[in-house]
Chains A and B, each alone.
Chain A
């Protein structure tokens, strides 16, 4: 087995690098959407709206989850597996809570008449925030796998790559949300 490893020169772990390039790709998608939003914003028929309170709570939740995933990754490296398990489960729960709060936020908007079809500005809000939520759901699925794995004996094999991957991705969706929140606040 060693033959391939010693010969194959790996600078940074390929999966980590792939994730970074993938993040660049996701950034481009949101850059596309938010620029379309700016273009549309300056045309007729734009109606401003206020973001629901639930979106603010969800912001606090995802920031907190970013901290827990960071601590989880740190605990994993220190081989403090009990703490790692707790923090990973905590992150997962916070992730789920984020999604729930987003749904509540959408329900509040909908009840105020800010529906998907009523106006282009609302449509944009639903698509942009919805797509971000999909990316968070993807992260939650990965977190479920990680949380389940944390109870199996296999995690005692020391590889930090999966933990670092999920941690990087999770920080990314967190930052992306903060960007989107500020974007939607500033340009409305």
Chain B
């Protein structure tokens, strides 16, 4: 390593007006191996969208099986070959689909696609930096993600299918190649892909933290940073501290799989044959996995929280309510995220006393969460609200976060969890609070910053259809699952029609599947809108289309590498001076006037 990045930053500063066309960038350096944070952000976003379509499609396919367990779909065989003989989904492949749906959505879409996109795009623009601390590491971060994507994609096409032991890859299914179809090469590819993914996410995280702490423009003190940046900062901290622990778990798992060790294996009989492995503990893996796994939930959620805060304030034309409380609650959530992992393991034989400690710590998360919800609602209160698509998605995020968060209080209780664990209640909870809510944050971010990304607007009519179908559809899909879960319907089952007690849910399951297909179709409408508008969308003609205060709107409509053509603006105030002293908004780079009141 050398001082290269500093020199590069300088170099690019000279070419800040590169977009005028008199520069030597080739197609390859501009669009493929680019070191411009904005291009890298778009690469993450587009790759994330492709993964989201694949992951979403998988859920539609397994919902077909759940909604119509007795029907056959001959066209499925044309599409999936021997995985759907006679138009009926193979049970082994059903598990592969469920596993890959989770892996893709959790890691490739809502971690890389969300953080990768918005941390890259917004951090330098909103703190006033020409690029990331190390543009080179940043580029590597994307290409490791790309490599991880290629390997994971390849695992979909191997003879024995991709990993199928659940996205949590618990041993022994994941540790023994003979345990199931998906435990063979698909599992190896999964582990290698995740190792690449962890490297990508660490390189990204190192860069985000360093950039935020060291590269802020003059006057941009930490307490003047937009809440998006605070959220992305805590997200990066979570990632840098928790992913290495998953890596250590994955390394031990690789040893168990390939080198005959017994970290996670003991007393196992496969197909009548007793294995020599002695002394390992499968529970140990769960500890290592959930030490990442729980922070991972917040890695997914915090960026959405940050963007929702920013968008709610801008479109309410009001300062965010309780800025410092918002920062404090983000911090509290970050700390608590590391102290609650065992609530995923209440029924593994965990010492009940230890369990009750984790119950307490888990329920404590309700405090910072409630602070955030209160502040979002009070920001909206008596605001001059503009219902832009971004705003609707941000409000939708708050709604989903409340609905999904409340069921977390049920699940965080170790006593209730004995009944509720591994049922559809859990599925309903985490899909609403983490999955759909974060997607809403991501959509809000895309609709809000699209003009900055591409210099054009997305189509509003399509956006409104997208919003209303998605919000109503998501509730229709996941709300009934609470009832199924309370009735004890277990998750991950291939077919419920053999159980007398779950037969009554046949109609409900069909309903859920139908709505899931509809919602998936509407997401394709969004994808169409996204790509169509890059070339054909209405052009942005003003620098600051949303009349926002943050620095990204002081750059040219289509900023080149280096972001600002002249000097980087100096910051004189916090980003939430809306409706202050009778003025609609005062941007961060406007000096404080003589008679101005304090905020």
Nearest Cβ on chain A to B158's Cβ, whole angstroms: 27
Is B568 positioned at the interface, with any CB of A under 8 Å from its CB? yes
Is A64 positioned at the interface, with any CB of B under 8 Å from its CB? no
Interface size on A, residues (CB 8 A): 46
Contact indicator A32/B288 (Cβ below 8 Å)? yes
- With A8-B130, A123-B263 as known contacts, state yes or no: A15 contacts B214, CB within 8 Å: no
User: Which residues on A sit within 8 Å (CB–CB) of B403?
Assistant: none
- With A4-B130, A14-B215, A28-B245 as known contacts, state yes or no: A36 contacts B206, CB within 8 Å: no
Is A33 positioned at the interface, with any CB of B under 8 Å from its CB? yes
Contact string, B225-244, partner A, CB cutoff 8 A, digits 1/0? Answer: 00000000000000011111
Which residue of chain B lies nearest to A43 when distances are taken between CB atoms in the complex?
A: B281
User: Which residues on A sit within 8 Å (CB–CB) of B129?
Assistant: 8
- For window 403-424 of B, CB contacts with A under 8 Å fall at none
Nearest Cβ on chain A to B445's Cβ, whole angstroms: 25
Contact indicator A25/B261 (Cβ below 8 Å)? no
Q: Which of A13, A15, A24 has the most CB of B within 10 A?
A: A15
- With A1-B11, A39-B287, A127-B255 as known contacts, state yes or no: A32 contacts B245, CB within 8 Å: yes
> In the docked arrangement, what's the CA distance between A155 and B213, Å?
29
Contact string, B119-152, partner A, CB cutoff 8 A, digits 1/0? Answer: 0000000000110011001000000000000000
Across the A-B interface, how many residue pairs have beta carbons closer than 8 Å? Answer: 158
Nearest Cβ on chain A to B231's Cβ, whole angstroms: 18
Binds A, one of B1-9, B85-93, B366-374, B387-395: B1-9
Which residue of chain A lies nearest to B280 when distances are taken between CB atoms in the complex?
A: A120
Contact indicator A36/B287 (Cβ below 8 Å)? yes
> In the docked arrangement, what's the CA distance between A119 and B291, Å?
25
- With A17-B210, A29-B247, A40-B281 as known contacts, state yes or no: A24 contacts B240, CB within 8 Å: yes
Nearest Cβ on chain B to A134's Cβ, whole angstroms: 10
Nearest Cβ on chain A to B86's Cβ, whole angstroms: 44
Contact indicator B206/A5 (Cβ below 8 Å)? no
> In the docked arrangement, what's the CA distance between A20 and B275, Å?
44
- With A26-B244, A117-B261 as known contacts, state yes or no: A15 contacts B251, CB within 8 Å: no
Is B13 positioned at the interface, with any CB of A under 8 Å from its CB? yes
Contact string, B244-274, partner A, CB cutoff 8 A, digits 1/0? Answer: 1101110110010001111100100000000
> In the docked arrangement, what's the CA distance between A5 and B12, Å?
11
> In the docked arrangement, what's the CA distance between A33 and B214, Å?
31
Is A7 positioned at the interface, with any CB of B under 8 Å from its CB? yes
Binds B, one of A94-102, A105-113, A157-165: A157-165
> In the docked arrangement, what's the CA distance between A9 and B124, Å?
12
Nearest Cβ on chain B to A133's Cβ, whole angstroms: 14
Nearest Cβ on chain B to A80's Cβ, whole angstroms: 21
User: Which residues on B sit within 8 Å (CB–CB) of A1?
Assistant: 7, 10-11, 14
> In the docked arrangement, what's the CA distance between A2 and B266, Å?
63
Contact indicator B247/A17 (Cβ below 8 Å)? no
> In the docked arrangement, what's the CA distance between A134 and B217, Å?
38
Contact indicator A7/B13 (Cβ below 8 Å)? yes
Contact string, A36-78, partner B, CB cutoff 8 A, digits 1/0? Answer: 1001100111100000000000000000000000000000000
Which residue of chain A lies nearest to B278 when distances are taken between CB atoms in the complex?
A: A45
Contact indicator B279/A17 (Cβ below 8 Å)? no
Nearest Cβ on chain A to B589's Cβ, whole angstroms: 14
Nearest Cβ on chain A to B75's Cβ, whole angstroms: 46
User: Which residues on B sit within 8 Å (CB–CB) of A12?
Assistant: 214
> In the docked arrangement, what's the CA distance between A11 and B214, Å?
5
Contact indicator A10/B6 (Cβ below 8 Å)? yes
Contact string, B183-217, partner A, CB cutoff 8 A, digits 1/0? Answer: 00000000000000000001001110111011111
Contact indicator B215/A9 (Cβ below 8 Å)? yes
User: Which residues on A sit within 8 Å (CB–CB) of B245?
Assistant: 28-29, 31-32
Contact indicator A127/B251 (Cβ below 8 Å)? yes
User: Which residues on A sit within 8 Å (CB–CB) of B536?
Assistant: none
- With A14-B215, A127-B252 as known contacts, state yes or no: A7 contacts B210, CB within 8 Å: no
Contact indicator B284/A24 (Cβ below 8 Å)? no
> In the docked arrangement, what's the CA distance between A77 and B123, Å?
34
> In the docked arrangement, what's the CA distance between A31 and B12, Å?
40
Is A82 positioned at the interface, with any CB of B under 8 Å from its CB? no
User: Which residues on A sit within 8 Å (CB–CB) of B278?
Assistant: 45, 119-120
Contact string, A152-183, partner B, CB cutoff 8 A, digits 1/0? Answer: 00000001011001000000000000000000
User: Which residues on A sit within 8 Å (CB–CB) of B538?
Assistant: none
Contact indicator A18/B241 (Cβ below 8 Å)? no
User: Which residues on B sit within 8 Å (CB–CB) of A161?
Assistant: 2-3
User: Which residues on A sit within 8 Å (CB–CB) of B11?
Assistant: 1, 4
User: Which residues on B sit within 8 Å (CB–CB) of A162?
Assistant: 1-3
User: Which residues on B sit within 8 Å (CB–CB) of A25?
Assistant: 202, 205-206, 240-241, 243-244
- With A10-B214, A15-B134, A39-B284 as known contacts, state yes or no: A120 contacts B244, CB within 8 Å: no
Is A185 positioned at the interface, with any CB of B under 8 Å from its CB? no
Nearest Cβ on chain A to B330's Cβ, whole angstroms: 18
User: Which residues on B sit within 8 Å (CB–CB) of A46?
Assistant: 279
User: Which residues on B sit within 8 Å (CB–CB) of A124?
Assistant: 263
Nearest Cβ on chain A to B131's Cβ, whole angstroms: 9
- Could you list 7 A-B pairs, sorted by A, with CB under 8 Å? A15-B1, A32-B249, A33-B252, A43-B281, A117-B259, A117-B260, A127-B251
- Top 9 nearest A-B pairs (CB, nearest first) are A4-B13, A45-B279, A4-B10, A14-B133, A29-B244, A32-B245, A123-B261, A32-B248, A28-B244
A residues contacting B by CB (< 8 A) are 1-5, 7-15, 17-18, 21-22, 24-26, 28-33, 36, 39-40, 43-46, 116-117, 119-120, 123-124, 127, 131, 159, 161-162, 165
B residues contacting A by CB (< 8 A) are 1-3, 5-7, 9-14, 129-130, 133-134, 137, 202, 205-207, 209-211, 213-218, 240-245, 247-249, 251-252, 255, 259-263, 266, 278-281, 284, 287-288, 291, 562, 567-568
Given A4-B11, A22-B202, 15 new contacts (CB under 8 A):
A3-B10, A3-B14, A4-B10, A8-B215, A8-B568, A11-B214, A14-B210, A14-B211, A14-B215, A17-B209, A25-B206, A29-B248, A32-B249, A46-B279, A123-B262
